[in-house]
Structures are given as C-alpha cells and as structure tokens.
Structure 1
Amino acid sequence: MGHGGNVIAELTTDHREVDELFAKIGALPVGDDQRRKLVDELTIELVRHSVAEEMYLYPAVRKHVEDGDVIADKELSDHAQVEQHLKDLEGMAADDSQFDPLVAQLKLEVSGHVRDEEDRLFPLLAAACTPAALDELGDKVRTAKKMAPTRPHPSAPDTPPGNKLLGPGAGLVDRTRDLLTGRGKG
C-alpha cells in the first residue's frame, strides 16, 4: 500500500501484492488457521484498493476516456461482487465448508477484474491523460488508501460524493477495530 509513481504503477503494484496473497493462501493446507489471517490481509488490501479506485480512478475514467461511463460502471459492478464475497467471508473460519469455495470464487473474480483493468482500462487512461495527471491521480490514490475502510461495506456508496464523505469515517472505525483485535497483523 502506497508504493509511489503514477496511478497505473501504483494500482498495478497493488494487483501483484493481491496475487501474492492469493498464492500464499493457496499454498496452505485446507482448514489451516493461517488461511483465515491471510484472507483478512487480502480483504484489507482489496477494500483499500477498491475504495481508492472508486474515489479517484473511475471518476477520471468517466471524465477522460471515451465511453468512460460504461467502463467505470462495469468496474464498479465488479467491485460490488467482490465486496459481497469479502463480506460473506468476514469472520468465517478457515475450516468452514464454504470458506474455500468462496476464496476460489473471489480469486476468479479478482483475477478477471485485474486483467480487464491492466489490459483495457489502464492503456485507455494512459492515452487520455498527461503524465502529470497520472502522477497526481497516483498521489490521490495513495492518500485515499491510507484513509480507506479495511472491511467490506457493501451498502456504502461507491461513487462521489457519498464515498468521499463516508469512506474516511468508516476507515477510522475499521482501523480502530483492527487495532483492538489485531486483525491484519499476520
């Protein structure tokens, strides 16, 4: 979280970190408690990443990319599905019979979303924006991730201005809960 560079470099690095977390989860035996801890880490990263994209990336896509509204709406729909899976996994024990199928479905959906962003959305955005604009978006995304919630909130708004108003408050509450419970601390 918070790597530096323009928005595309920042988000691509996040994507690789998520890939690594899925690989770590997959390398552990079914039912291993460490899988639960890794899913918590994965959830934190995915929620922060998604919130930052919703606050800054998708509005920029709507503004600068041809057919940006259609593209952004599709990405938001992907996020909603992923967030619901994260909510379903929240608090579920690693040995629950639904845990592994949900993690597998989550991985499939996240992988498809990442491919779509990296193969289609990022090149379109890079062609439509100046390097300075992409750098500025990178800074905004990094700032947003620091303030973002760390737990799924499927009913929260995912577009401005609602997400920019409610996100930081939910983020503060989530980070306080994480601190008190030790969630996300491997």
Structure 2
Amino acid sequence: MVDHGDDIITILTTDHREVEQMFAELETLRGTGEHEQIRDVTEKVIIELVKHSVAEEAYLYPATRKYLPGGDALADREIAEHAEAEQLMKDLEGTDTQDPAFDGLLTTFMAAIRQHVLEEESELFPQLAKHADADELRHLGSRINAIKKVAPTRPHPSAPDTPPANKLLAPGAGLVDRIRDAISGRGKD
C-alpha cells in the first residue's frame, strides 16, 4: 500500500495497534490479582475504542458507502459490530474485575474487537485505498483526528451511530464524558 502519511487508513491502523498493545497488557495481568491495574487498562481500552468507533461511524463508514461497491452492506455490518462492542464495553464498565463474569466478558470483548480489526484491515481498508484517492484519504484522516478530540470516552449504546445525528451529538456527549473523567480520574496514569 502506498504511504499516505496521516490518511484515514494509517490513523485507524495505528489505533488498532495501540488497542492490541493494551489487550496484550490485559492478557499479561490476568490471574495476577492486580484488579486495580486491570480496571485501569480496561478503562483506557474503552476510552480509546469509543473515540475510535465514533470517528469511524462519522467518517469511515460514510466513505465506505460512497466509494466502495457494496459499501452500504459493508458499512451496515461494521456499524452492527460496533453496537455489539459498545454493549460489551458498557457491560465491562459495570462489572467488577473480581466478579467471575468479568474475565468471560473481557475474553468475548477482545475476540470481537480482534475480529472486527481483522475484517477492516483485510477487507475494508484495502478496498478504500483502491477506490478513494489519496487526497480524500488524507482529508478523511484530518476529520478523524479532529472528531477524536471531542468524541465521547464512555460507551453510549443507545446513541445514534450514523450521520448526521452522531456528528451533532458526539461533541456534547464527549464534553460530559471528559468532565466525568476529570472528576473521577478515569483514564489517567
């Protein structure tokens, strides 16, 4: 693939690698009894994935619909996977790390995210690189970076996941989430 710098594909792939590093950290922490550290890493993963998902729903999936043959069906499938992942994130947030159900939820969540990433990187991204020009991919990358700065940091399973409603509501939900995070210290090292 041609290097497009900070294009949408590069940015989202970088996000995927960062999430995978956090998953590896969680796998290392399993069974150690480090429940507070497991909660901290889980919250960081959730924060990053919520911002990533909001960005994809605002810009990647509309581009998928616009540029890819069969893009509507592909975007719909990806959005449905996001909805499932968001519910899993909400469930993880509400489950104590010492609860026996937590480990099963975490396993299911990581498997779902890894499968989603595999599909995007092997199917969607190569098609997008083929059908959209480099300037558009860079433009979408700048949009992705901008929305991630104001996106929510907590899962909102009932929030809209398609434009224009998601683009309108995300900054407000993001502000509220960031205030809650600042007050609680959530997501801080």
TM value normalised by structure 1:
0.96
Q: How does 1:1-186 map to 2 (within 5 A)?
A: 5-30=6-31, 31-32=33-34, 33-186=36-189
Percent of matched pairs sharing the same residue: 53
Q: How many Å separate the matches in 2 of 1:14 and 1:29? A: 23
Secondary structure, counterpart of 2:100 in structure 1: coil
Aligned length: 183
Q: How many Å separate the matches in 2 of 1:13 and 1:115? A: 13
Higher deviation after alignment, 10-19 or 83-92:
83-92
Please list every run of at least 4 consecutive aligned residues from structure 1 whose deviation after the TM superposition is greater than 6 angstroms: none
Which residues of structure 2 form unaligned runs of 5+? none
Query: Cα deviation per residue 1:31-68 (whole Å; 9 max; x = unaligned)?
Result: 42200110000000000000000000000110111000
Q: How many Å separate the matches in 2 of 1:92 and 1:78? A: 21
* RMSD over aligned Cα atoms: 0.9
Q: CA offset at residue 92 of structure 1?
A: 2.3
Secondary structure, counterpart of 2:27 in structure 1: helix
Q: How many Å separate the matches in 1 of 2:23 and 2:117? A: 13
Q: How many Å separate the matches in 2 of 1:45 and 1:99? A: 19
Query: Cα deviation per residue 1:97-146 (whole Å; 9 max; x = unaligned)?
Result: 11110010000000000000000000110011110000000000000111
Q: How many Å separate the matches in 2 of 1:145 and 1:10? A: 11
TM value normalised by structure 2:
0.95
Query: Cα deviation per residue 1:136-180 (whole Å; 9 max; x = unaligned)?
Result: 000000001111000000000000111011110000000000010
Higher deviation after alignment, 49-58 or 85-94:
85-94
Secondary structure, counterpart of 1:98 in structure 2: helix
Secondary structure, counterpart of 1:151 in structure 2: coil
Amino acid at match of 2:29: L
Which residues of structure 1 form unaligned runs of 5+? none
